[in-house]
Amino acid sequence: MHEPFMQQAIRLAEEKLSRAEGGPFAALVVRENQVIGQGWNRVVAGNDPTAHAEIVAIRDACQQLQSFSLAGCRLYVNCEPCPMCLAAAYWAGLDAIYYGATREDAAAIGFADAHIYEELGRPLSARRLPLSQLMRAEALKAFARWDALPDKIRY
């Protein structure tokens, strides 16, 4: 049941790579055994560091469904998701992720994300990318306005 979708994701990665349309990554979002979103790595092609296959597939599926929620959907990707893509999968509410190659396999060909996993485990003060808080009281005003909305849509 899962293998045909993984095979399709792997074929998409190979196809886009052979056409020089992206890096060696592709992903599918599947609902009720139908592909509703697909994506391949577009980082270099689009000058967009967030255009990983999973992100592109999630965006495509959300547009197809006209919804920010992908509850009831599964993600098939030819490689284990990086921290950004994994976080996007959680935000989208996906039910499951199936992947082929591991993050170690990706690192072996130059796509290393171990440093991000390590950074996320460190306290803010010990991270390589400094985070500095400014103007909290002013920033909280928009939060209070949103929290008071009677018809807000939580996500």
131: left (phi over 0), alpha (psi -120 to 50) or beta: beta
Please count the other Cβ atoms lying within 10 Å of the Cβ belonging to residue 85. Answer: 25
By annotation, the residues acting in catalysis are: 54
Cβ distance 118 to 94 under 8 Å?
A: no
Alpha-carbon distance of 23 to 101, in angstroms, equals 14
| Residues 45-62: tens digit of each pLDDT | 999 999 999 999 999 999
Q: What is the DSSP code (8-state) at residue 48?
A: -
| Residues 89-143: tens digit of each pLDDT | 999 999 999 999 999 999 999 998 989 999 999 999 999 999 889 999 999 999 9
| Residues 5-30: tens digit of each pLDDT | 999 999 999 999 999 998 899 999 99
Please give the model's pTM, rounded to 2 decimal places: 0.92
Structure tokens at 148: 């008071």
